[in-house]
Amino acid sequence: MQERKIGVLAGSGRYFPEAFIERVNSLEVPGVSAEFIKLGGTKMAEPNRYRVILDRASHQVRYYRLFLKNAALSGTYLINDPFWYSADDPFFQYCLATRAGIATPRTVCLPSKSYVGYQVDPEALRNLEYPLDWDGIIEHVGFPAYLKPCDGGGAAASKVHSKEEMLRAYDQSGTSVLVLQEAIEFEKYLRVFCIGRKYVLPAPYDPQQQRYLPDYPYVSAELGQHLVQDTLLLNQLLGYDMNTVDFAVRDGIPYAIDFLNPVPDFDPESITWPHFEWLVEKMAELAVEHAQSDQRNLFFTNWKSQLKDRLP
């Protein structure tokens, strides 16, 4: 029987990597086993011995990202696909969700206030409108709003309530590229785990205290269905097998706030143990399913079809 190994790249996060490997191996699926990957240099176009790789470390170690892209050429199924990382910016996520018909806060991306310290040819800036149409931007977004870095970082966000307050914050932003985003004054806030683009677990969450709330009935059946549908659609569009989607609920409508979290927090002491057990179970099921199947990553399928006449 062909051996189909599942490899794990594990970065931060207590308990989960070991629990995942133990769960996969406890299933005793013939030919399928999981282990930590050990790397000491990767040869160019080197075949990869893993059928599936669960990646929770390449966002911190660039060498791992290069290893994973080479593994994709061998047909290894990658969780998550590293080729999607180039699209990981919050402004793109809002554009994508809006195009998909999912409620999102009104958002405008703004050019940097300053380019001091950057080697920018002044001619490269001639396409920028100056001064900006602040009144038009404000009319679109409204107040209150958040002025924050376009590449994420909630801690760096400034909540503004007037044009004067917004301009003061913008004038102090330096070379950062910012977004001005409608503030959703929510009644409920949920962080929804999504595994394999098919398993979904909504969890009540307090974004101010950055903690999960006790698991009690928190949403109606109708709202719960809405959350599941939007979460599945977003992850199917993004191609993520491991992600969380944050929703702020206002007047019964869930607004997608943040949904590019390819290495979500899996620490049981923060997400709670029941959620942790669910994640270990579903991630193990997903990895084993892909280890047993002949489904390959999209990049491998595309390049293989293009070169079919030139391959042995």
Note whether 199 and 298 are same-domain residues: no
Q: What is the pLDDT of residue 251?
A: 94
| Domain's final residue, options 162, 182, 202 | 182
Note whether 60 and 176 are same-domain residues: no
The pLDDT tens digits of the residues spanning 93-124 come to: 899 999 999 999 999 999 988 877 777 777 77
| Domain's final residue, options 136, 161, 182 | 182
User: Which residue blocks in 44-174 are alpha helix, DSSP H?
Assistant: 62-73, 90-99, 134-141, 163-171
Note whether 95 and 203 are same-domain residues: yes
Q: What is the pLDDT of residue 79?
A: 94
Note whether 96 and 115 are same-domain residues: no
Domain range for 36 is 4-86+291-306
In a domain, 71, yes or no: yes
CATH number at residue 221: 3.30.470.20
Percent of the chain at pLDDT > 90 equals: 64
- Alpha-carbon distance 244 to 235, whole Å? 9
Q: Comparing C-alpha atoms, which of 36, 170, 45, 191 is closest to residue 110?
A: 170
Note whether 98 and 201 are same-domain residues: yes
CATH number at residue 8: 3.40.50.20
In a domain, 276, yes or no: no
Q: Comparing C-alpha atoms, which of 25, 18, 17, 19 is closest to residue 57?
A: 17
74, burial (CB in 10 Å: exposed 0-12, middle 13-18, buried 19+): middle
Q: What mean pLDDT value characterizes the chain?
A: 88
Residue with tokens 């793109």: 92
Note whether 302 and 206 are same-domain residues: no
Angle, helices 90-99/221-238, rounded to nearest 10 degrees: 120
Note whether 10 and 79 are same-domain residues: yes
Note whether 82 and 172 are same-domain residues: no
Note whether 199 and 98 are same-domain residues: yes
In a domain, 266, yes or no: no
In a domain, 94, yes or no: yes
In a domain, 283, yes or no: no
pLDDT band at 146 (very low <50, low <70, confident <90, very high): very high
Query: In the predicted model, is pLDDT for residue 307 greater than 60?
Result: no
Q: How many domains does the chain contain in total?
A: 3
Note whether 99 and 241 are same-domain residues: yes
The pLDDT tens digits of the residues spanning 273-286 come to: 999 999 999 999 99
Query: In the predicted model, is pLDDT for residue 302 greater than 70?
Result: no
In a domain, 252, yes or no: yes
pTM of the shown model: 0.88
Note whether 189 and 99 are same-domain residues: yes
Note whether 38 and 130 are same-domain residues: no
CA atoms within 13 A on the CB side of 48: 28
In a domain, 279, yes or no: no
CATH number at residue 139: 3.30.1490.20
In a domain, 301, yes or no: yes
